[in-house]
Chain A
Amino acid sequence: MSDILKVRNLTKDFKELRAVDDLSFSVKEGEVYGFLGQNGAGKSTTIRMLLTLIAPTDGYIEIFGMPLHQKRKEILRQVGAIIEKPDLYRYLTGFENIRLFSRLSGVKTTDNQIREELARVGLADRAESKVRTYSQGMKQRLGLACALVHNPKLIILDEPTNGLDPQGIADMRRMIIHLSKDLGKTLLVSSHLLSEMEMVADSMLIINKGRKVVEGKVQELINPVNSIVELKTSDTAVATSFLENSSWKTCLLPSVNGTIRLDLKKTDIPEFNRQLVAHGVAVQSLRPVHSLEEFFLSQTRE
C-alpha cells in the first residue's frame, strides 16, 4: 500500500510554546491510523496543520502525493474532517448543513443523496430539525455526515468519541470500521483513549509534548517480545521468597497495589508458571498486563 499522507519534520511554535516538535509520520492507503496522545500533546494542532487551518512553523506535508502548501484545493476536495467537537450551524437543519458543506466541497448533491447520507448516520427522521435541537451524539453523527458527503478518500477525525455516551462511542467505532473495511477509506483518528484506538486502528502513532514517542502496527505494539505479567497468589510471601532466590529475580518489577509484577519474555511465561507450581506457589492467576497501555502511560505521564 502506498503512503496517502506523509508528514516530515513538522513543527509549530506558538510564541514561546512549541506545540508540535519535529514530527514525522506516514499513513498508508486504506488503513485506520490512530493518533494518540494525552490532552495537550499536540494532536489537534497537527490535524489543524493537515487541514491548513494553522500554518506550520517548519516541516512538510504531502497528501495524495501532492505538497499541501501548493495543491491545497485539490487535496482538500478529497479530505473530510471532524475537528474536535463538530460545531455546525445551529440555526440550520441537519439537511441544510449537509447541503451547505457539500457545496463548499465543490459537490452538487441531490436531495436524495443528502437523505441517504443522513440515513447512513441514523438521522433520517431528524433531517428537517434544527441542529440546536440535536443531542451531542446526533451532532457528532451529523458532523460525520458533513465530512463524508463529498465522498473523500481521506477522513480525519479529531477525538470523534468526545462527549459521546457508551452507545454513541460504539456507533462511532462501528462507523469507523465500516468506512475502512467496507468502503476502503483511509482514516486518521486522534484520541487520548488508547483502548478506543486499539479496537479500530491498524497503525498507531503516540505523541507526547508534540514529539513522536512511538509509531507502528497496533499488533506489533500490543504484542512485543516482552510482556508485563501480573501474578496473583494466595501466598505472596512464598511466591516472593521463591522469586528473590531464583533466576527470575532480574525480571521483577516494583509492586503495584500489592501485586507481583514481572517483565518476562512471552516465550518464558509457560516455564515461569511451571516453576511457580513446582515450588508450591498457589497460582490464582498469571495475567499479562495491558502492555501498550502501560507503555503509553509510562511515556506520557508527567
Chain B
Amino acid sequence: MFLDILRIELFKVFKRPRTFIAFGAIALIILLVQFALKVNGKDFIQLYTDSQADTFDIPYDKILNGYFVCVAVLHMILIHVPLLIALIAGDMISGEANLGTLRLLAGRPVTRTQLILAKFGASTVYVILLLAWMSLFALLGSILLFGKEDLVVFKENDLHIIKNSDVLWRFFAAFIFAALALTAIAAMALMFSTFADNSLGPIVATVCVVIVFTIVQQLKVPVFEETVNPWSFTTHMLGWKGFFYVEKTAEGATINGSVENAGALVRSGLVLAGYIILFLLISIVYFRKKDILS
C-alpha cells in the first residue's frame, strides 16, 4: 500500500508545472555559468589565484577544464537549491490543505504516517532527480564544452591538484552528499508544511532558516563557532566540498583516492541524517494529531 501512495505522490509532483521550474532554472543557470567561463574563464581563475600567481606558474588553459567548471557551478548554485526544494517540499501538506484535497486524502484508508512518509519519499525522489539533472548539465555539459584535465581546487591559500583519473568518483560522492543535505532541507520544509494551511508560510520559513543559519555560520565569531556551527545543518550541507580536498604527502604530492578529512565528512553525513530523522519524527507526531479543518 505504501508503494501505491508513494507512486501517487510522485505522479502528483511530476504532473504539476511548478515542479519543472527548478529543472528549467538549474539548466539555465548552469548554461549561463558555462557560457561565462567559456568567454571569460581566464579572468575568473585569475580572481581566485591572484595571491598564488607570484609563487606558481599557473597554467590557466589546463585549469579551465570540464571538472573545474563543474566544481565552480556547484559552488555557485548548491547554496541556492534549498529554495527550489522548499518550493516543492514546503507545499506537500500545506498545498493540499490549501487546495482542499488534504481532507480527501486523510479520509481514505491510509494512515497519516504513511502519508507523511510517502510525501517525504516523493520529495526525496525530486531532490535526487534534480541533482541528477544538475550533474548531467554541470558535469557532462562542462566536460563536453571544456574537455577533461586534472582538477585544480583552491582552498584558502592552498591548491589541491587531483588527477584526471581520480576525479569522477569524487563528483558522484559529492552529488550523493548534496542529495543527503538537500533531503534534510526537504524534511524541514515538509515539517513546516504540516504546521500550515497555505504553501507560502512553509516555503518562506524554510528559506529563512537556511538564510539565518548561513549568516550565523559566515559571521565566524567564537560564540557561534563553538555552539551553533558544529550542529547547524548549513555547516554540514557544504560537506560535499570535502571530497575535493585531498591528502598530500610530506613532499606536497596529492594521494590518489584520498580525502583530507574523512572523519569530518562522516560526521557531517551523520548530523544531516540525524536532522532528517528529527524533522520526520516531528512531522509524523504533529500530523497524526492534527485536526484537518481545511
Contact = CB atoms under 8 A, between A and B. Distances in A.
Contacts of A76: 107-109
Contacts of A91: 15-17
A84 B109 CA distance: 19
Contacts of A54: 291-293
A85 interface: yes
Given A91-B17, A92-B15, A104 B108 contact: yes
Given A91-B15, A92-B15, A100-B8, A52 B107 contact: yes
A89 interface: yes
A48 interface: yes
B99 interface: yes
B221 interface: no
A105 B12 contact: no
Contact of A89 (B1, B7, B12): B12
A157 to B, nearest CB: 13
Taking residues whose C-beta sits less than 8 angstroms from the other chain, chain B's interface range is: 20 to 34
A212 interface: no
B109 A101 contact: no
Given A54-B293, A100-B8, A83 B103 contact: yes
A106 interface: yes
A173 to B, nearest CB: 23
A53 interface: yes
A87 interface: yes
Interface residues of A, number: 32
Contacts of B110: 73, 104
B291 A53 contact: yes
B109 A73 contact: yes
Interface in B1-38: 1, 4-5, 7-8, 11-12, 15-17
A81 B292 contact: no
Contacts of A48: 103, 291-293
Interface in A77-95: 77, 79, 81, 83-92
Interface in B102-137: 103-111
Contact of B106 (A53, A77, A87, A96): A53
B100 interface: yes
Given A73-B109, A76-B109, A85-B100, A103 B289 contact: no
A160 to B, nearest CB: 14
A243 interface: no
Q: Which of A53, A85, A86, A146 has the most CB of B within 10 A?
A: A53
Interface in A93-115: 96, 100-101, 103-106
A94 B105 CA distance: 16
Contacts of B104: 83, 86-88, 101, 146
Contacts of B109: 72-77, 104-106
A86 B108 CA distance: 14
A91 B19 CA distance: 12
A88 B107 contact: no
Nearest to A76: B109
Contact of A53 (B7, B16, B101, B292): B292
Contacts of B99: 87, 89-90
B142 to A, nearest CB: 35
Nearest to A106: B109
A52 B12 CA distance: 24
Interface in B85-106: 99-101, 103-106
A193 interface: no
Contacts of A53: 103, 106-107, 291-293
A289 interface: no
Given A87-B99, A90-B99, A101 B108 contact: yes
A214 interface: no
A85 B104 CA distance: 11
A90 B100 CA distance: 11
A75 B108 CA distance: 10
Contacts of B291: 48, 53-55
B101 A88 contact: yes
Q: Which of B11, B107, B291 has the most CB of A within 10 A?
A: B107
A52 B106 contact: yes
Contact of A100 (B1, B11, B17, B293): B11
B107 A51 contact: yes
Given A53-B107, A87-B101, A89-B12, 12 more contacts: A48-B103, A54-B292, A55-B289, A79-B107, A87-B104, A89-B99, A90-B99, A91-B15, A91-B17, A100-B8, A104-B4, A104-B8
6 contacts: A74-B109, A86-B104, A87-B100, A88-B104, A103-B4, A105-B108
Interface of B: 1, 4-5, 7-8, 11-12, 15-17, 99-101, 103-111, 289, 291-293
Which 8 pairs from chain A and chain B are nearest by CB? A87-B100, A51-B107, A76-B109, A53-B292, A104-B108, A73-B109, A77-B109, A54-B291
